[in-house]
Each structure stands twice: as structure tokens, then as C-alpha cells.
Structure 1
């Protein structure tokens, strides 16, 4: 089921939009096969190699839901430019309203608009602003929802066991230093990076265009994935930082309980 959901996510833009070339279709097919196999292997293995918090829902569920919602909403918006309907107009109006609200000087949405070359048509710039507004709103809602679930469900334990090393396969506990201190440090770094990335990604894209490697945002599918990455990656990294901080708090609390029990038993 997880692999099927990943497949649906990847093919959504090409399914909603027409006009893709044969090369792009083949590339999407290869990416879809690889992503499905990777998901099956990671979730069927005893110990995952890259997927974090595999056994600690709803961390990955919230992130995937936010990613899926972003791609779906943007696909509906861009389908409306070719085949308008009441549904597509509703999504376009929502994106336009949110885009205008958050499009103020030095905002992430304004930086996304300013990265476009001067030769870009006003229609493409307007579509980029609408897509950026709606995707940024979805990322903010996902962060708020994740933090709310942490409080309500007492994540990560939720009354059961929590294996730190299985849920954090990329974290090496033997690298040196106190585990709690390192988790808190990594959590803070991820939170700071999550706040900064919406401002840094447009700058990087602008530099790439100046160096002669511009991203062709005239293509709707390219624009969808670019805006999705711009909104989703910072939110995902920020949620990871919050999650690492909660794990550090859990380990520190367990330590204190163990020390208290040892002291009461005369250990």
C-alpha cells in the first residue's frame, strides 16, 4: 500500500497534465519503479537504512500527506489552465488569494517570484505566485498539525516501546559525545535550517540560472516539482528537528528515572 501511494504521488502531475514528451514519460516510469522498490525494501526490512521514524507514526504519515496534498493541489491548479472547471477555479482562487497575502517584500513567496528572469511572461509569474502561496500554506498547516499530534499523543512513545536506533538509522550513537546533547544539537540545526531554506532555495535557483543552468519553469510539471520541493523540504526538515528534540527529551527522562531508581535502591 505504501509503495502504491508513492507511485500515485509521482505520476500525479503527468496524469493530470498532458503534453509530456516520451523522454519525460520514461524518466517518470524509472523513478516510479525505483521509488516503489525502495519503499518496499525499507518497510519490509528488519532495520531500515535511510527511512527515519519508520516505527513511530505519525511522523512519516504527516510528511507524506503534506507532500501528496501539495502535488495534488498544484496538479489541479495547472490542469485548470488547460481544462478549466469549477474545481480547478476554486483551487486557483485559493492559491491566488494566499499568494497575494504572503507576497510582501523579503517574504519567501516574493523571493520565489523575484528569481524568475525578466523575460518570463506575466502569466508564468502569476502561476508561480499562486502555486507558491498554496504550497506554503499546506506546509505551514502540516507543521502545526504535526506539533499538535506530538502533544496529544505524547509522541514518540505513545505508551509503547520506542527503539531509537531502528527509528534513527542514520544516527550513529558511537560517533562520540553524549547522545542527548548530539540529538538536541541536530534538532536545533534542523529547525534553523527549516526556517532558512524557503529563503535560500530561491537564491540557489537564481545562482544556477546566472551560471548558465536555468530551471525551465515554463513547463508545468517542472514548476510543480520545483515549488513542491521549495515548500516541502523546509517543512520536513523542521519537523525532523522537532522530532529529534522530542527523542532527546525522552532519553533524558528515561535516564533520570533510571538514576532515581538506582538511588532509591541504594545502587
Structure 2
């Protein structure tokens, strides 16, 4: 009897241990893959651009290692701290692909200056066409050219316009893809569990007030900031300075990362605003469903 009970106990414990080990292995593997992808993103301009010095490559590699370590620790942790929508795919995936597409295309366009190829000439031609199409009065691309000082040449202005137009177009295209994917996938799904705390670690649901009102208020704020930032950043730089030196802004690494950040940050805020609005709708639907099943919960919904 003792051996039989011992066998039963072992059969109950081993599957539990295997399940925990499998969960841990999946979490570590996923964190390592994400860290590797972030490192690839950071070193991509140094790989594509010709004539990058050894010192620059070492600095970029160090930054890539630091960013990769940060991503690995964040995704490997059981309790999140900084990264939002960690388990809310495809939010971060679309953001990553958007930034990767911007970095790769701008890198190829900038590399065409010193080492032109058939592919780089095609990318530059497309970028020039996009920049000219989006360069109209009061457009974000027109305002981006105001980052340059008055002594900038026509060729330098064209470089900034091409990079700004390409980055802005890719960000808007990614935002449209994000909205379509969320609509088709019904994100966040009401049929599966969606942990607001895990996906919004910086959002405190018990800080006061109705959580739906706070989510909707934050969503509107993110949407407003995402819409205004492409206009505000060049305007503030133009008002605060006499414009950036052309040699500084048009240097390869600076131009790529400056235009990528200028286009990526507003698009990320817009995506965050859309996502938070949909989460607020999900919570409202679940609350209304619970109230319909138990009317006694109605007074608690206002607190």
C-alpha cells in the first residue's frame, strides 16, 4: 500500500514539475528571442551604412547589449515593471516591425550617398517621392525641415525631407495596420483572460476614480499627444534655437535615429491611446454583463 501511494504521489507531482519547467523555459526562450531582436534593431544602421568606424561599432554594440539585457530581464520577470502590453500581442510586435522598417529603409537611403546600388537607388527614389508628396504647407514633413538652420543647402533639406517623409509614411501605414488588425482580431478578446495589471504595469487601477473613466481619459491624452508631437517637436526646436547645424542633423546615424524617433514616438502614443480605449470598452462590457446577471452589483460599479 505504501509503494502504491508513493507511486500515485509521484505521478501527481511530476506533471506539475514538468509544467512549471516548461513554463519557465518558454518564458526564458521568449525573453531571449525578444532581446536578440532588439539588439538586431539597434545595430542595423551600423551594419548597413558603409564606412562606420570601429569606435562607433563598439559603442553601438554596448548599447545593443544594454537594451537586450533590459528587454530580457523585463520579459523574463514574472511581475512586469516597464514594458506595456507584454502579453497583449500584437501591440508590441507591430511597434517593433514599424521601427525596424523605418530603420532599415532610412539606413538604405542614407547608405546610397556613399555606396549606391540598385536597391539603394530604388529606396531613395521612393523616399524622395514620398517626401515630396508629404511636403505641403503646415504638414509634419514641412515642419521637420525647420529643424535645419537657415544656412542649410537645398541638398541637405532634401535629405531631411526624404528621411522625414519616409519615416512618417511608414508610421502612419503601421498605425493603419494596427487598427485593422485589432478590429479583425477583436483585441482584446473578451473570451480569454486579459490582465490589465500585467499589460499596463504603470497604470494604477486603484489610484482613485472609476477605472473606465481614467482609461478613457488617458486614451484621449495619448491620442492628442500622438497627433500633436510631429508638429510640436520641430516647432519647439525652431523656437528654442536657430536651427540645428546641417552637418549635425544630416550625419548618417543622427539623421536615421532622429527621424525614426520623431515618427515612432507619436505613432506609439496613438497606438497606446487606441489600445487603452479598447481596454476601457472591454471592462465596460464585462461590467454591464455582470450587472445584468446580478443587479445587486450596480451600486458597486460607480465606485
TM-score (norm 1): 0.94
Alignment of structure 1 residues 79-228 onto 2, 5 Å: 79-157=111-189, 159-207=191-239, 209-210=241-242, 216-228=248-260
CA contact (8 A) 1:205 1:214 kept: no
Partner Cα distance (1:207, 1:200) in 2: 10
Residues 210-246 of structure 1: per-residue CA shift (max 9 Å, x gap): 4999992131110000000111110000000000000
TM-score, structure 2 as length reference: 0.83
How far apart are the structure 2 equivalents of 1:109 and 1:158? 39
Q: Which moved more, 1:60-69 or 1:208-217?
A: 208-217
Contact 1:7 1:32 in 2 (8 A): yes
Tell me the matched-pair count.
266
1:205 deviates by 3.0
SS in structure 2 opposite 1:82?
coil
Residues 147, 244 of structure 2: 8 Å contact kept: no
**Which has the larger displacement, 48-57 or 121-130?**
121-130
Question: 1:18 offset after TM fit, Å?
Answer: 3.1
Q: Which has the larger radius of gyration?
A: 2
Q: Which runs of 5+ in 2 are unaligned?
A: 1-32
2:56 alignment partner, one of 24, 41, 48: 24
RMSD in angstroms over aligned alpha carbons?
A: 2.1
Instruction: Indicate conservation of the 8 Å contact 1:59/1:146, yes or no.
Output: yes
In structure 1, the gaps of 5 or more residues are none
1:132–1:227 contact (8 Å) kept in structure 2: yes
Counterpart CA distance in 2 for 1:85 and 1:77 is 10
CA offsets, 1:34-54, max 9 Å, x none?
110011111111121111111
Q: 1:215 to 1:254 in 2, by over 3 A?
A: farther
Structure 1: how far apart are the matches of 2:189 and 2:196?
10
Give yes or no for the alignment of 1:5 onto 2:51.
no
CA distance in 2 between counterparts of 1:247 and 1:226 reads 32
Select the structure with the greater relative contact order (CA < 8 A; seq sep ≥ 6): 1
